[in-house]
Amino acid sequence: MSNLPNVAGADPVSFPLDAFRVAIAVHLSKSLQISVDIAFTGVDLGKKGVDFTVAVPRFRLKTKLPELIQKVTSTFSPDQYLERVVGESPFVHFYVRTSTLARLVLDKAYAGNSANNSGDTYGTNKQGIGRKVIVEFSSPNIAKPFHAGHLRSTIIGAVISNIYEANGWQVVRMNYLGDWGKQFGLLAVGFERYGSEKALAENAIMHLFEVYVKVNRDAGMEKERGKKEVTNELAREVFRKMEAGDEPTLAIWHRFRDLSIRKYTEVYARLNIRFDTYAGESLVSPAQIKAAMDILQSEGLLSTKTSEESDSDWKKKRAAMAAGVLVMQDEDSEEPSAGNDLALAVDLNQWKLGKPVVQKPDGTTIYIMRDIAGAYQRYEEYKFDKMIYVVGDQQDLHVAQFFKIVSLMRAPFADMVEHVNFGRVNGMSTRKGDVKFLDEILDMAKGAMLSQMQQNAEKLQQIEDPESTADEIGMTCIKIQDMQAKRVHAYNFDPQRMTSFEGDTGAYLQYAHARLCSVERKAAPAVVLPLSSSDIDIALLAEPKAREIIILLGTYPDLVRTALKTHEPSNIVSFCFRLSHVISSTWESLIVMGTEHKLAQARLFLFACARDVLGNAMKLLSLSPLTRM
């Protein structure tokens, strides 16, 4: 950028608004006698019609505040970046030159999405180049329904992965399947009793879940009637064989796992979500588990856990689970058996994290131990700079225990792990209390959207594939409802509101993008965009609404940069709706057709840039923007 110095933290090439921040910092530096770098940190985006705002007291200067504000305003001279300044104690507000703003933002937005660009899209940056992050998300359990918690983890994890990629990081999208433990032993026993090869081939996940429910019922009835717990003991024996490497038992496990992954892959493809690797508890090597246990031993972290302690912990966990504040793995929720055998545990009571068991009395591993060993294994394989676990807040205790243990073990990655949690989804069960499968939820949303589309036969004929379009709108509705609120908040799943075209819904967002796409189609051939954006007379975009759109487009790269710190999809969703609303308010004032040619070109150019930026933001949310609907 001409006449602008290099400033620490500023990158006007990737973030067009940084050019104006630097210009403001230069003026502050001269008027207040502070360094440009310090001045730059004090420049914030303005609110309510203000472009940029500076809170003067943050510089902690000894001169009285009115005098400081007077210095800033009285020494100001307009230049190519800044047009005027207004003092409003304790702030100073800066207004930028519209022509420069439009040229910098729109040229960058247009070039970033043109067919001949270098592959980068507007909003991306290279700040994370050379750094690697593993994002573990979704992580369903084999033979259990893909429930609301997994859906939230899947949606949020996909967005976080996209955010890191947009900021230049190398991202490993990891799906850590719950494919080990006594739950598989139960499944193997159940399939022997109730399994059907035909049903397994048709829908592996659904059938394995049905089998799992039946065998769990068997185990529960045995316990209630005071009978010998044959089912649970058979399940434990199967798991012992698995851990011992028994080939026939592992062959059954491999088959169920592979069939489940195949089905999951279909569902993820429908959600427009991909994974780089399907990991799992089962892939944590026995050698790595032993190595981790050796570290726990050498660091003096292992202690025994008496049956009384186990019984007390179990009762507390059951109470927490009943209250809905804790989710337990099957192996953790099993009532402790009577006897003198002692489990191995790590005492975290001084941090108020309890005393989690890492090895059962029979020598088999437990979930948290496989997490610990798995983290070591991943670090050796990937040499990551950060590893993010996208897990619901009902697992907060488990994750806190896991992180504290690797810290006490002095693991080289202990300060590189991060938990991104989220609240519960209510209302995802049927009236009978049965959990809905994801396929059922997606089909419901698709059906609702197709029904609405069929009410307009003329528009329906213009859509090449109504079924696919309805499916995409339905998925957008589900995702947007999930991401609209802050991720830490629980929300109520509302199918009727979710699939409405009224209000801020996924359907409205897709409609906003499709309408922007229609502008260029309808304008042609009378109005077409030139090959170079430099041929556009941007000075013609002088209307306040046009300026509002341009400023919003300029904030998008900042939004992507900030999202890396907050891990908050809702801010991106809010941007999409805000941009869509502003554009919607301009259809009657920024008319393209029937307008003088140069002005029509400039407005069409603005809408093309808005379409591209809205599309980029939607893709960041793992949505597929539609061009017709």
Cβ contacts of residue 225 below 8 Å, gap of 6+?
none
DSSP for 264-293 reads HHHHHHHTT---SEEEEGGGS-HHHHHHHH
DSSP 8-state assignment for residue 58: G
Task: Please say whether the beta carbons of 182 and 143 come within 8 A.
Answer: no
By three-state DSSP, how is residue 305 classified? strand
Task: Provide CB contacts within 8 A for 77, sequence distance 6+.
Answer: none
- CA-based angle 47:49:53, to the nearest 5? 50
Cβ count within 10 A of residue 498: 22
The distance of Cα 563 from the centroid of its chain, to the nearest Å, equals: 10
Lowest mean pLDDT among 110-114, 368-372, 379-383: 110-114
Consecutive H or E run containing 13: none
CB 463 within 8 A of CB 628: yes
Give the DSSP per-residue string, 420-488.
Answer: E----EES-B-TTSPBPPHHHHHHHHHHHHHHHHTT-HHHHHH-S-HHHHHHHHHHHHHHHHHHSS-TT
* pLDDT tens sequence across 36-85: 999 999 999 999 899 999 999 999 999 999 999 999 999 999 999 999 99
- Which band of pLDDT confidence, cut at 50, 70 and 90, is reported for residue 333? very low
DSSP secondary structure code for residue 537 in this structure: -
pLDDT above 80: residue 115: no
Tell me, yes or no, if 144 is annotated catalytic. Answer: yes
Contact 277, 217 (CB under 8 A): no
Mean pLDDT across the chain: 90
Round to whole Å and give the CA distance between 154 and 271: 9
pLDDT confidence of residue 432: 44
The pLDDT tens digits of the residues spanning 304-323 come to 986 556 555 645 555 555 55
Burial 166-176 (b: 16+ CB within 10 A, else e): bbbbbbbbbbb
Contacts 24+ apart (CB under 8 A), 71-80: 71/31, 71/32, 72/27, 72/28, 72/31, 72/32, 75/27, 75/30, 75/31, 76/27, 76/31, 79/23, 80/2, 80/3
Q: Can you give the three-state secondary structure of 218-271, one letter per residue?
A: HHHHHHHCCCCCHHHHHHHHHHHHHHCCCHHHHHHHHHHHHHHHHHHHHHHHHC
User: Under 8 Å CB-to-CB from 544, ≥6 apart: which residues?
Assistant: none
- The bridge status of strand 170-177 relative to strand 132-136 is parallel
Structure tokens at 77: 């001279």
d(C-alpha 443, C-alpha 434), whole Å: 17
Say if CB 392 and CB 419 are below 8 A apart.
no
| Number of residues assigned to the chain | 629
Sequence-separated (6 or more) residues with CB below 8 Å from residue 584: 512
Report, as an integer, the average pLDDT of 241-245.
Answer: 88
Long-range contacts, 585-592 (Cβ 8 Å, 24+) = 585/545, 586/545, 586/546, 586/549, 589/543, 589/545, 590/543, 590/545, 590/546, 592/519, 592/523, 592/527
Nearest to 576 by CA among 622, 615, 606: 615
Regarding predicted confidence, which is higher, 118 or 511?
Answer: 511
DSSP 521: H
Instruction: Please state the separation of Cα 351 from the chain's center in Å.
Output: 30
Exposure on the CB side of residue 529, measured as CA atoms within 13 A: 21
Residue 621 has a pLDDT of: 98
Q: What is the mean pLDDT of residues 376-389?
A: 98
Among 108, 147, 398, 479, which one carries the catalytic annotation?
A: 147
* Contact in structure between 308 and 159 (CB atoms under 8 Å): no
Ranges of each domain in the chain = 17-96, 133-426, 471-620
For residue 211, give every residue at least 6 positions away whose Cβ sits within 8 Å of its Cβ, in sequence order, or none. 143, 187, 190, 191, 193, 194, 195
CATH for 471-620 is 1.10.730.10
The angle subtended at Cα 99 by Cα 97 and Cα 100, nearest 5°, is 70
Indicate the CATH number of 17-96 among 3.30.1360.70, 1.10.579.10, 3.30.470.10, 3.40.50.2000: 3.30.1360.70
What is the arithmetic mean of pLDDT over 360-367? Answer: 86
Alpha-carbon gap, residue 93 to 517, rounded angstroms: 36
Per-residue pLDDT for 11 more than 90? Answer: yes
Here the tokens at position 428 are 């995802």
* HEC-encoded secondary structure of 134-170: EEECCCCECCCCCCHHHHHHHHHHHHHHHHHHHCCCE
Q: How far apart are CA 83 and CA 189, in angstroms?
A: 76
Q: Examine the residue annotation and report whether 513 is marked as an active-site residue of this protein.
A: no
Which among 27, 71, 108, 144 is annotated as catalytic?
Answer: 144
Q: Tokens 């991060």 belong to which residue? A: 418
Q: How confident is the model at residue 435 (pLDDT cuts 50, 70, 90)?
A: low
Q: What is the pLDDT of residues 204-223, one digit of tens each?
A: 888 998 999 999 999 999 88
Does the bond joining 557 to the residue before it have cis omega, within 30 degrees of 0? no
Res. 327 pLDDT band, cuts 50 70 90: low
- Does residue 554 surpass a pLDDT of 50? yes
Q: Is 562 exposed, middle or buried (0-12, 13-18, 19+ CB in 10 A)?
A: middle
Band of pLDDT at residue 431, cut at 50, 70 and 90: very low
Set 150, 398, 436, 446: catalytic member = 150
C-beta separation of 392 from 149 below 8 A = yes
Residue % of the chain over a pLDDT of 90 = 70
The topology under which CATH files domain 133-426 is: Rossmann fold (3.40.50)
Give the list of residues 6+ apart from residue 360 with CB closer than 8 angstroms, or none. Answer: 331, 343, 366
